[in-house]
Amino acid sequence: MINKHLATIDAAVQALHGRTFFAAFPENPSPEIYGADADAQGRARFAALRDQPFAELLQGAPEGWVGEEESPYEQQPLGITYPYYSPETLIKNAQDAFTEWRKLKPALRAALLTEALEGMKSRFFEIAYATMHTTGQAYMMSFQASGPHAADRALEAIAAGYEEQTRFPEDTRWEKPMGKYSIALTKTWRAVPKGLALVIGCSTFPTWNSVPGMFASLVTGNPTIIKPHPKAVLPMAIVIAEVQKVLVEHNLNPCICQLAVDAADRLIAKDLAENPAVKLIDYTGGSPFGNYLEGLKGKTVFTEKTGVNSIILDSCADLDQVAQNLAFSVSLYSGQMCTAPQNFFIPAAGVQVGDALVPYEEVVQRLSAAVTGLATNPKAAPHVLGAIQSAATHERVKQLAFDGGRSILAHGPVDNPTFKNARTCSPSIHEIGADKVEQFSQELFGPIMLVIKTKDTQESIRLAAQLARECGAISCGAYTTDPVIKEQIMDEMSLAGTPVSFNLTGGIYVNQNAGFSDFHVTGGNPAGNASFTNPEFVVKRFTWVGFREPA
C-alpha cells in the first residue's frame, strides 16, 4: 500500500514547497478522463440514494435514522436518512479505535487515506449531484469543488501531515565528547496524536471545507468524527463511506472515521465538542459558534468563520473587463462563497482608466450593467448563479435595506429551464456612504453587493484594512496601475492578515483558491484562526515525545 501511493504523496509534498500548479485529480469532467458513462452513472447512483436509508456506513448498528436535506433546485426533500448515534456512542467507538490507528506508521496512514481518495474519485459525479441538491451549487462547481478540488485539498493535508511526522529521524545515536571519553545515548522520538478529533461542516461547501481538517487529523493518527451540516450530509457521507471501506479492507476499525448527524430533537455538535476526549476541532461556519469553540479549554481548534471581503478600485487599463470579472465574482454561486466580494470601495472622483478619469456614477452603472447582463443571460446565468441554499438567505436578500442608502440594482429571479422551482435570486447592489461603517462591517451572506463612495483611494485602503483587522476578511481584490498604491495595499492588507488579488480579468477570479499553492484563510484576522494548509495546520495535531538511554 505504501509503495502504491508513495510517488503521489512525494509529488504532493514537492508541490507544497514549490507552490506551482499541481492537481492530482483532474477538474475537467470530460468523458475522456472519467469515462463516457461516468456522468450518467453518477446521476443514476444519486437518484438511487433518494428516499432511502444511507446504508453504506460500517460503524455499527444505529440508534435511529434521521435526515432533513432538501434540494434548493426542487425545494423538495431528498428523503435520505442517515444512521444516528448518540455522542456517547460515537466517542466510545472512536476511543476503541484510537490505539490501532495511532500505532500505524505515518507512511501507512498516508497511503491508506490516499487509497480512500481514489475511491472518492470513482464517485466524483455522484458527489457532484449530491452537492447540487444539498447546496444549490451549479453542476460544474459542484463537480469541481466537491470532487477534484476537495480531493486535492485532502491530499494536501495528507502530504503536509506525512512530511511533518517524518521530518525528524525516528532514532539516532547521540554522542557528546567529554575530553578523554564521551557520553553516548540512543535517542528515539515518536509523533504522538493528541486524541479524538471532531470536524463540524457547513451547508454551502460540505466537502471542500471539511476534508482538509478531516484528513489532517486522520493522517496524524487521531480518530475523527465528522458532523456535517444537517442540510448537507450526503456529500460527506459518501466520502466517509469510502474511508471506512478502505479501513475494513485492511482489517482496521471503521470507527477510526465516523459520520455523526443531528437528530431533530438533539443537536450534538456542542455535546461532542465539550467532551473531554475530543482534543481537536475543525469548524467552518458563523462566527458566534466559532468563537464559542475557540473559547473551549483543553482543545486545539481550527476555525474558518465569517468575514467581510473588499474590492478596492483605483485605476485600471480596461474598465469593461474589470466589470465583467467582478460581476462574475459577485454572481458565482449567488455570492454564497466565503471568498465572494461584498464591499466595493470606489473614490468619489471616479476610477482612472488609461489616460481618462471615468466618473464615479459611470463606474457604478457599468458594474451594474455587467451584473445585469450576466444575471439575464439565459445561457450563462443558471450555470453561474446556481440556487440559494437556504430560504433564510433568500429572504434576507429580498428584505435588505439601508438607512440613508441608495438601491442601485434590485434583485430578481433567475430562470432555470431545467429546474423550474429552483430557489434563485440575482445580485442586488446598494450604495452606502463611507461614514456608515456599521452598515457594511458585517458579512451579508448571499448575492449582495455594496458600493461605498470614498473620498479617495487612501480612504478605500484604510477602510478595507480596518474591516479586515476588526471584522475579518478571507479575500480582497484590488485594481490599480500605480506601483506605489499597489505596494501600499499589499503592506496594509498583509498587516490585516488578508491576501490580495491584483488586477484580475478574464478567467481567474478573487473567489478561487488553488490547492498546493494558495493558503486559504491566513489565521491572521477574525475570519479564522487556521489556514489550509500551512505547517501549523498539521503540527498542532500531534506532539513530539523523545526517549533516551545509554548507548
pLDDT (mean) for 236-256: 98
Q: Say if residues 371 and 449 touch (Cβ distance below 8 Å).
A: yes
Task: State residue 332's pLDDT score.
Answer: 97
User: For residues 413 and 399, what is the distance between their CA atoms, to the nearest angstrom?
Assistant: 14
* Fold exhibited by the domain 310-502: Aldehyde Dehydrogenase; Chain A, domain 2 (3.40.309)
Picking from 346, 367, 341, the residue whose alpha carbon sits closest to that of residue 476 is 341
Question: Which three three-digit cell numbers place residue 503?
Answer: 488586477
pLDDT (mean) for 255-260: 98
pLDDT digits 0-9 by tens, 155-192: 999 999 999 999 999 999 999 999 999 999 999 999 99
> What DSSP string runs through 188-224?
EEEEEE-SEEEEE--SSSTTTTTHHHHHHHHHTT--E
DSSP 519: P
Backbone angles phi, psi at 450, to 5 degrees: -110, 125
Task: State residue 405's pLDDT score.
Answer: 87
Picking from 99, 85, 124, 101, the residue whose alpha carbon sits closest to that of residue 247 is 101
322: pLDDT strictly greater than 90? yes
Task: State residue 294's pLDDT score.
Answer: 97
pLDDT digits 0-9 by tens, 5-32: 999 999 999 999 999 999 999 999 999 9
pLDDT (mean) for 58-87: 97
264: pLDDT strictly greater than 90? no
CA distances from 258 to 63, 222, 236, 242, 397 (A): 14, 12, 10, 11, 36
Task: State residue 386's pLDDT score.
Answer: 97
Domains in the chain: boundaries: 2-17+35-305+530-550, 310-502
pLDDT digits 0-9 by tens, 514-533: 999 999 999 999 999 999 99
Domain 2-17+35-305+530-550 bears CATH identifier 3.40.50.20: no
Picking from 203, 204, 208, the residue whose alpha carbon sits closest to that of residue 146 is 208
What is the edge-to-edge ordering of all strands in the sheet holding 257-259? 257-259, 224-227, 196-200, 278-284, 300-304
Question: Which three three-digit cell numbers place residue 309?
Answer: 471581503
299: pLDDT strictly greater than 90? yes
pLDDT digits 0-9 by tens, 423-473: 999 999 999 999 999 999 999 999 999 999 999 999 999 999 999 999 999
Which residue(s) pair with 84 in the sheet? 64
Q: Say if residues 448 and 400 touch (Cβ distance below 8 Å).
A: yes
Phi-psi region of 529 (alpha: psi -120 to 50; beta: other; left: phi over 0): alpha
pLDDT (mean) for 235-259: 98
Task: State residue 317's pLDDT score.
Answer: 97
pLDDT digits 0-9 by tens, 347-372: 999 999 999 999 999 999 999 999 99
The model's pTM: 0.96
